[in-house]
Structure 1
Amino acid sequence: MSKHLPPKDVPESIRNVPLPDALSERYLAYALSTITSRSLPDARDGLKPVQRRVLYAMRMLKLDPASGYKKCARVVGDVIGKYHPHGDQSVYDAMVRLAQDFAQRYPLVDGQGNFGNIDGDNAAAMRYTEARLTEVANVLLANLDDDTVDFRPNYDGEDEEPAVLPAGLPNLLANGASGIAVGMATSIPPHNLPELCDALLHLIKHPNAGIEKLVEYVQGPDFPTGGLLVEPLESRIEAYKTGRGSFRHRARWQKEELPRGTWQIVVTEIPYQVQKSRLIEKIAELITDRKAPLLDDVRDESAEDIRLVLIPKSKNVDPAVLMESLFRTTDLETRFPLNLNVLDGGRLPKVMNLREVLQAYLDHRHEVLERRSKYRLSKIEHRLEVLDGYLIAYLNLDELIEIIRREDEPKPVMMKRFNLTDVQAEAILNMRLRSLRRLEEMELKTEHKALSKERDELKTLLDDEALRWQAIAGEVQELKKQFGPKTALGKRRTTIGDAPVISDEAFEVLVEREPITVICSAKGWIRAIKGHAVDDGSATFKEGDKGRYWIHAETTDKLLLFGTNGRAYTIACDKLPRGRGHGEPVRLTVDLGNDQDIVTLFKYQGARKFLVASSDGRGFICPEAEMLAATRSGKQILNVAAPAEACVCRSIEGDTVAVVGENRKLLLFPLDQVPEMTKGRGITLQKYKDGGLSDARVFTLKQGLSWVDSSGRTKSESDLKEYHGERAQAGRVVFRGFNKNNRFD
């Protein structure tokens, strides 16, 4: 028998499992644990487990807003000892964030001591800081003792913790959330609470309300650091419809006049989650590197409020142009992502839209109301039962006293004699002698009447869903009244607006205009050298590489790169690496994949048109202006499906299209047979049985077809009648003397 075989007497609890199956099973369990127990917030109360446990532990320590502060170390100790058996620093970090008014729109922890600042400085150690709950946290925790939510055993089974909080306010959207789980993430910006209340009230009245209508109430994020939201309305609506998107958030600034016609710019609010110290460092680097030619200096004059002073180089500079240049190059403008990926019902991760998130909160509040009403009803019925027993006792007081004095076991005798329940008999026996006053009977009758009325109201409420939603609407209205737009906490801080439109010509003054020569190698290494140099073979390249593009341009120009993935990329010439070295890979400047290559690289002029085509023989005409991309990810122009790829991008100069295939067949047809488009697959230019398109170009028929041979000489052919045809034909074998690589250059 082989020594590798398992023994025969293997216990039943041990089973043989293939290693890949065992790994996938355990990794899936780890992933689910991370998603549900650490990283994603619950859609109902907007909290992650560690945040919920911090608030619950503080409540158990009676750290309400009216009480004194307690050391944060005491809170953290209770959290990790009873509910969250992880590192104390992670718990303290979560607690600190809940207390930072620049991180939380509605802070849930009232901190005393150093809890960090907007410069990025860390909070003091937990032994030096103190904390208590805020009024907002009180609203989240209200009615927790009224059986409104489920409790579950803690990690060691010796205690209990709430699975979710009653959440008297829509905390998920009000304070936002962020987190990275296994294979998924969430990013929710904070919003204005009064606006959320208005949206909730509208949704109660109109359960099928559209996103467009809800966005009229929830206009966009309301960041604790203020600033301006300059995202267009259409983009905001689309983001809230899909649950994914982003919002442009920029700093608030103003022009401050100085003596003798000079001025300076003062920044008073910066984007959310931007560290002020890092922002100042970045601006200072731009000044040092001469990449901010309009800016002379930056000063930080902040105290409790933010005050960044920007000094222009000249009083003749346009302040708007200066600020727009900084918005483009610094974190004075950021994009905050929206990814409404939350735990639906505390169980399953799901990307929700705005209506679904609001409805999930309303459904939770409806369940809380039902459970709270049933709990209160049971308490009332128990109390009424006791009161009925008390009233019987008052009517038969002497006889009851006599039974208690004489009987060894008075309880069953009382129950039989006066038809009492066990609860009533026990309550009578536990009644104090001082309660035997005559006046007490009247008070009991008054209490009995009030409780009977409340019982009837609760039964009516539980039987009528419309009344329950009316009660929830009343709670939302009270919430809006408590944190209304006129209060310091409820007033909107982030202004909704539009970014000023400034032409590209205005930004040319930001770059010193000088001639350069752009050199790009065959392997995609790009650089720029000063002046319009001649390609005399003196340029050096990495081993195994060679020159491919040699372009004369200026620092104010833009380059267009067309890739084999059909995307067009824009490169600013002033951003290219300078010097006589090898430069850097163009893939560091644009998001061109490692499995993609450059089809062509040229200087952007704006008014030309280009023939673009793919290796499967499809193409169209695209205006040059439509190929300009705003981001490094480029702009999809030609849609290609593997294994085909883009292979042609040539400027149009002529009236006839020439296409040649890998099968060495040439076809000529009129240019007007090719449509002009901005994006798409295009139409078939040439058909092939085997292979695909090799090259294409546009030429003037009267001048003949020219090409460049392997020696660099230009040749031409004017006798082309037999190659004329219609678009999408196969063509004929090319004439003798044409390039063996089947290309026109």
Structure 2
Amino acid sequence: MTIHAPPPEGGRIIDEPMETALSRRYLAYALSTITNRALPDVRDGFKPVHRRILYAMHQMRLNPQAAARKCAKVVGEVMGGYHPHGDASIYEALVRLAQDFAQRYPLVDGQGNFGNIDGDSAAAMRYTECKLTPAAVLLLEGIDQDAVDFRPTYDDQDEEPVVLPAGFPNLLANGSSGIAVGMATSIPPHNVGELIDACQLLLERPEATTDELVQLVPGPDFPTGGVAVEGRAAILDAYETGRGGVRLRARWETEDLGRGVWRIVVTEMPYQVQKSRLIEALADLIEQKKAPLLGDVRDESAEDIRLILEPKNRTIEPEMLMESLFKLSDLEVRFPINMNVLDADGTPRVMGLKACLKAFLDHRREVLNRRSQWRIARVEKRLHLLEGLRIVFLNLDEVIRIVREEEQPKAVLIARFGLTEVQADFILDTRLRQLARLEEMTIENEFKELSEELANLKALTSSEGKQWKAVSKELEAVRKALISPRRTTMGEAVDASAFVAPEAFIPREAITVILSERGWIRAAKGKVEDPSELKFKEGDKLAYLVPAYTTDKLLVGASDGRIFTIGADKLASGRGHGEPLRLMIDLDEKAEIINLLAHQPGGKLLIASKAGYGFIAPEDDTLAQKRGGKQVLNGEMLAMLRVPTSPMGDHVATIGENIKTLIFPLAELPEMGRGKGVKLQSFKQGGLADVTVFNAEQGPEWADGGGRRRNWPDWKDWLGKRAGAGRQGPRGLRKFR
């Protein structure tokens, strides 16, 4: 055994910049993820793990007629021979191939518990069994006839197919989804009959447009059914560009219970929506008063879906109830379309409907040619042997004599009749009973049939037109084998704006909003007469008490300059301590609540910062649609005050941290939606301590140290221009509120 000396010092060290090393290695990782895990091949629609599962099952002869085998056996075969990853990921992929609610055309016939639409997971692989379905056989047909290329497996012990022959366009038929590095794919399932009709159109007229294809393939066909309510223009654009989306709704019907009482029965769920989670979400909407039209929800499903939705009262229209729930829940989902696939060269590309179908047809033509060449080679070999047998029958006595008398019969046969070694070996291995007269006729018939087949195969491989006709004939046979009615109905695009908002059905009731210093919020019915009777958690106390109605929107001002909006009907009951306000809005941990107001349409707010800047903001412009609120003030908010409308506020009073006070007309402040504002009061040091808005006829008030309200009759002595320094305020004035 030769012992090699270790490399010289530094021989295994690569000197390169860190940035270059990281980018090169990350790029290698990204490419591996894209090509080997996340994106499907446009030709057969599979990622490597699914392709390996089907090929391993084919090698194990788990065809539809065979007995099913344990999934653990299949997973072990795939993991040991083809897919060097965890058994859990392989089994999850296998289970998905068997779920009729996940696959439009299941490729694995699963026996046992393979999960359900409620979201329950499959049983362990040691309990379940599987075999291939007829659809999977169509995808594998011809794989043993040199129809596709093979490559070495990860350990170089065997070979695996680069792509499957794919008898039907599986990429679009069953769809695919995945997330790679820097890219993703999301392809919905379709109806095979419609896809093959589109393929036939492309074979007849390759110049056919996507618009013509969409007439045959109007949209996705999901295994769970439902109603697609996306407009044709949007679907056409998605199929043209490869990117878009489709809105999918649950299928429902109204069940009349008599005497004007009715209920909704949901019979089909949107694709990939788990029924159990949907029911939980609907129940939460009822509990949190976010679905004011829905009274109750329950599940009466057996083998079929039967989800019962009861209205709050019989005066509600069924369409109105469902439209509100479509907005609030996963009874309507938007399935994204991103047809990002690996083309025949293994390059990631976003392809439209026509490009995907053409790539499939090109693949089918290549498979046809390769299978034809494989068959030609075997027919020619058989004809070569039959020619030798024909010579034997013409010279049977001489052949028998040579075999009996010659020491080297093979060499004599070759020399005497001009045979090849293959023919001579075949003749010598032929049994005597095959030389009967009847066998001679059989051989002649076989020779004639194979000669005709060979001529047809050679004519096929030399004519592109005949190849496309053969592809068309094969697709028509597949269509008859897999044809099934469409499950997803293509409905009309719905304009939700035509329906009244569900908030319009919220009963208008007087409430009092209670917010504690620690941020717990609740709503008590009616008016709170004595705030001292309110109870809080230990160490907590009242911060804001706001009269409102259940139909109001609440404005929450925060010190980080944002204003949040909360529906008053969504607050917890006043019987308990409420719930943390931070669970309802995305409030920064360092931010504090500045004020809580009930929104008044058309009202105005004075927004002021600690730096001494401010402006007037229309209340309607401060309403936020998201949990993150709306950034209104550029700076640290000190105050969010409502400008009185009756009587109209017309003056602003400010007090600085230096105890100096300034009063100026409200008209000097600009009105704006957001920003920094203008200078309210000037300070040599420190900032603004407090601000208020008041009416000149009534005059301002301020709070003394004892918490009592005091009038300010001589306030006009502090009148000045905005941005002035002001003068020393009255004795005891520290804040206005």
TM over 0.5: yes
1:51-130 to 2 correspondence within 5 Å? 51-130=50-129
Partner AA of 1:110 in structure 2: D
The answer to whether 1:34 aligns with 2:33 is: yes
CA pair 167-604 structure 1, distance change in 2 beyond 3 A: farther
1:494 corresponds to which of 488, 495, 503: 488
Which residue does the alignment assign to 1:311?
A: 310
* 1:409-452 C-alpha deviation (Å, 9 max, x unpaired): 33233222211123222222222222111122222222122111
Name the SS of the counterpart of 1:298 in structure 2: strand
1:127-176 residue CA offsets vs partner (Å, 9 max, x unmatched)? 11111110100100111111100111112111111111000011111111
Amino acid at match of 1:236: I
Q: Secondary structure at the match of 1:263?
A: strand
Bigger Rg, which one: 2
Aligned to 2:502: 507
Q: What residue identity is the alignment partner of 1:118?
A: I
1:22 equivalent in alignment to 2:21: yes
Query: 2:226 aligned with 1:234, yes or no?
Result: no
* Structure 2 SS opposite 1:28: helix
The aligned residue for residue 176 of structure 2 is 177
Letter in 1 for 2:343: D
Aligned equivalents of 1:238, 1:526: Cα separation in 2: 49
Distance in 2, matches of 1:571 and 1:504, equals: 22
Contact 2:514 2:521 in 1 (8 A): yes
1:43–1:457 Cα change, 3 Å: same
Residues 323 and 499 in structure 2, CA contact (< 8 A), matched pair in contact too? no
Query: Which amino acid counterpart does residue 251 of structure 1 have in structure 2?
Result: A
Residues of 2 paired with 1:35 and 1:201: CA distance? 32
Counterpart AA for 1:87:
G
Pairwise CA distance, 1:326: 1.4
**Counterpart for residue 224 of structure 1:** 223
Asked if 2 retains the 8 angstrom alpha-carbon contact of 1:34 and 1:181, the reply is yes
Judge conservation of contact 2:522–2:578 (CA < 8 Å) in 1.
no
Q: Does structure 2 retain, via aligned residues, the 8 Å contact 1:321–1:502?
A: no
The structure-2 alpha-carbon separation of the partners of 1:292 and 1:134, relative to structure 1 and needing over 3 Å to count, comes to: same
Work out whether residues 320 and 499 of structure 2, in 8 Å CA contact, stay in contact via their aligned partners in 1: no
- How many residues were matched structurally? 635
2:520–2:578 CA contact under 8 A, matched in 1: no
Structure 2 residue runs of 5 or longer lacking an equivalent are 1-5, 529-542, 557-562, 590-595, 604-618, 631-674, 679-689, 696-719, 726-737
- Contact preservation (8 Å) 1:113, 1:129: yes
The whole-number CA distance in structure 2 between the counterparts of 1:70 and 1:33 is 32
Secondary structure in 2 matching 1:179: strand
Q: Distance in 2 between matches of 1:511 and 1:593?
A: 31
Residues 607 and 420 (structure 1 numbering): CA distance in 2 closer, same or farther, change over 3 Å? farther
Q: Given the superposition, is the C-alpha separation of residues 38 and 713 from structure 1 closer, same or farther in structure 2, using an over 3 Å criterion?
A: closer
Query: Alpha carbons of 1:118 and 1:352: their partners in 2 closer, same or farther (altered >3 Å)?
Result: same
Q: Which residue of 2 aligns with 1:295?
A: 294
2 CA distance for matches of 1:239 and 1:424? Answer: 61
For residue 259 of structure 2, give the secondary structure of its aligned residue in structure 1. Answer: helix
Q: Which amino acid aligns with 2:22?
A: L
**Contact (CA 8 Å) 1:36, 1:346: kept in 2 or not?**
no
Matched position secondary structure for 1:258:
strand
Distance 2:231 2:152 in 1: 47
Tell me the SS of whatever aligns to 2:308.
Answer: strand
Cα shift at 1:211:
2.0
Report 1:617-656 matches (<5 A).
none
The question of whether the paired residues in 2 share the 8 Å contact of 1:176 and 1:190 is answered with yes
- Partner residue, 1:49: 48
Do the aligned partners of 1:37 and 1:49 also contact (CA within 8 Å) in 2? yes
Alignment of 1:581-660 (within 5 A): none
What RMSD over aligned residues (CA atoms) do the two structures have, in Å? 5.0
In 2, Cα distance between the equivalents of 1:626 and 1:713?
A: 20
- Counterpart position of 2:646: none
How many angstroms apart in 1 are the aligned matches of 2:275 and 2:724? Answer: 61
1:471 deviates by 1.4
Given the superposition, is the C-alpha separation of residues 136 and 627 from structure 1 closer, same or farther in structure 2, using an over 3 Å criterion? farther
Asked whether the 8 Å contact 1:526–1:577 carries over to 2, the reply is no
Call closer, same or farther: CA 1:387–1:582 in 2, change over 3 Å: closer
Residue 257 of structure 1 corresponds to 256
Structure 1 equivalent of residue 332 of structure 2: 333
Indicate how the Cα distance of structure 1 residues 626 and 147 shifts in structure 2: closer, same or farther if over 3 A, else same: farther
Deviation at 1:95, TM superposition (A): 0.8
The verdict on how the C-alpha distance between 1:512 and 1:150 changes in structure 2, with shifts beyond 3 A counting, is same
Matched letter for residue 282 of structure 1? A
State the partner residue of 2:459. Answer: 460
Call closer, same or farther: CA 1:291–1:398 in 2, change over 3 Å. Answer: same
The answer as to whether partners of 2:35 and 2:346 remain within 8 angstroms in 1 is yes
**CA separation in 2, counterparts of 1:202 and 1:147?**
29
Question: Structure 1 residues 127 and 712, CA, compared in 2 at 3 Å: closer, same or farther?
Answer: closer
Which residues of 2 match residues 158-557 of structure 1 at below 5 A?
158-345=157-344, 347-484=346-483, 490-498=484-492, 499=494, 501=496, 503-505=498-500, 507-514=502-509, 556=551
Per the alignment, in what secondary structure is the counterpart of residue 79 of structure 2? helix
Q: Distance in 1 between matches of 2:475 and 2:625?
A: 43
Deviation at 1:633, TM superposition (A): 11
1:319, CA displacement in angstroms? 1.2
CA shift, 1:627, in A, is: 13
Letter in 2 for 1:492: R
Q: What amino acid sits opposite 1:508 in the alignment?
A: E
Conserved? CA contact 1:577–1:584, under 8 Å: no
Give 3-state SS (helix, strand or coil) of 1:256's partner.
strand
The question of whether the paired residues in 1 share the 8 Å contact of 2:290 and 2:570 is answered with no
Q: 1:389 is matched by which residue type in structure 2?
A: G
Identity of aligned pairs, percent? 55
Task: Name which of structure 1's ranges 409-418 and 242-251 shifts more when overlaid on structure 2.
Answer: 409-418
Task: Name the CA distance, whole Å, in 1 between partners of 2:437 and 2:213.
Answer: 60
Deviation at residue 209 of structure 1 after TM alignment: 2.5
